[in-house]
């Protein structure tokens, strides 16, 4: 007999790991993952962690209604083939997060995986001037330009006009590291051209071919 949603929620309410869910429901890991996926789609699960951190599932018997518009992680997940596990729920209450601002926020974060997933957004840009203004505000103009040119090497992207590219290139007094401590062994030409350190090697970007 198939267990009801109400019964499953009662058993799992609170904070869980996937191992704990397996034990609580007395099921194998694949089944536990499917159950979590079903509950997430219904609005009962909030996921945290992932990567080097243990993935945690906060399960509530009351649906979590999302307010506002898509935040950074949801915007990237909607537009990129590389999906991110949200470390927290981020929503935009006033206005909407544009693709241009999402790119800049991702690069500004200094987070390796977040930046890599955001590269796909270069194929969605609509306003080059807006992209430049956000990059200027955060003082990461050369980083944006370098990552745009890197992305052109691995996928189709929207064209950024020559004037904007020159403005990005001519930025002064910006830090070199996009991700602290990481330098590319493969994209040395771009690093020299833009005077920044690319955090990715060719092998990292193979994710976009999967």
Length of the chain: 210
Same domain, 94 and 172: yes
pLDDT band at 96 (very low <50, low <70, confident <90, very high): confident
Predicted confidence at residue 134, as pLDDT, reads 97
The model's pLDDT over 129-149, given as tens digits with 9 standing for 90+, comes to: 999 999 999 999 999 999 999
What is the Cα–Cα distance from 32 to 100, expressed in whole angstroms?
Answer: 38
What is the Cα–Cα distance from 33 to 45, expressed in whole angstroms?
Answer: 12
Same domain, 142 and 195: yes
Q: Is the pLDDT of residue 86 over 90?
A: no
pLDDT band at 62 (very low <50, low <70, confident <90, very high): confident
Q: Is residue 166 one of the residues assigned to a domain?
A: yes
Count of structural domains, the chain? 2
Query: What percent of the chain has pLDDT above 70?
Result: 89
Q: Is the pLDDT of residue 202 over 70?
A: yes
Q: Is residue 64 one of the residues assigned to a domain?
A: no
| 103: Cβ contacts below 8 Å, ≥ 6 apart | 118, 121, 122, 125, 131, 134, 144
Same domain, 199 and 106: yes
Same domain, 91 and 188: yes
pLDDT band at 155 (very low <50, low <70, confident <90, very high): very high
Q: If DSSP codes are grouped into helix, strand and coil, which group holds residue 53? A: strand
Predicted confidence at residue 2, as pLDDT, reads 64
Question: What's the CATH number where 10 sits?
Answer: 1.10.10.10
Same domain, 45 and 13: yes
Same domain, 79 and 124: yes
Q: Is residue 162 one of the residues assigned to a domain?
A: yes
Name the average pLDDT for the chain: 88
Q: Is residue 15 one of the residues assigned to a domain?
A: yes
Same domain, 43 and 138: no
Q: Is residue 169 one of the residues assigned to a domain?
A: yes
CA distances (Å), origin 125, targets 51, 69, 91, 139, 161: 28, 18, 21, 19, 12
Predicted confidence at residue 208, as pLDDT, reads 87
Q: Is the pLDDT of residue 93 over 80?
A: no
The domain containing residue 91 runs over which residues?
Answer: 69-209
Same domain, 50 and 108: no
Q: Is the pLDDT of residue 73 over 60?
A: yes
Same domain, 198 and 151: yes
Predicted confidence at residue 169, as pLDDT, reads 95
Same domain, 49 and 151: no
Same domain, 37 and 55: yes
């Amino acid at each position: 007999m198939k267990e009801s949603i109400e019964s499953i929620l009662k058993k799992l309410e609170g904070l869980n790991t996937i191992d704990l869910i397996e034990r609580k429901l007395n099921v194998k890991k694949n089944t536990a993952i499917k159950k979590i996926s079903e509950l997430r789609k219904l609005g009962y699960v909030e996921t945290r962690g992932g990567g080097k951190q243990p993935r945690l599932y906060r399960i509530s018997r009351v649906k979590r209604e999302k307010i506002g518009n898509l935040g950074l992680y949801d915007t990237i997940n909607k537009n990129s083939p590389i999906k991110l596990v949200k470390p927290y729920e981020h929503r935009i209450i006033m206005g909407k997060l544009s693709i241009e601002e999402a790119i800049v926020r991702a690069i500004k974060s200094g987070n390796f995986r977040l930046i890599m997933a955001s590269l796909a957004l270069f194929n969605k840009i609509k306003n080059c001037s807006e992209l430049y203004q956000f990059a200027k505000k955060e003082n990461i103009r050369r980083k944006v330009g370098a990552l745009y040119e890197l992305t052109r090497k691995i996928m189709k992207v929207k064209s950024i006009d020559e004037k904007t590219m020159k403005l990005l290139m001519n930025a002064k007094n910006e830090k070199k590291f996009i991700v602290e401590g990481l330098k590319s062994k493969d994209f040395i030409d771009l690093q020299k051209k833009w005077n920044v350190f690319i955090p990715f090697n060719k092998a990292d970007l193979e994710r976009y071919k999967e």
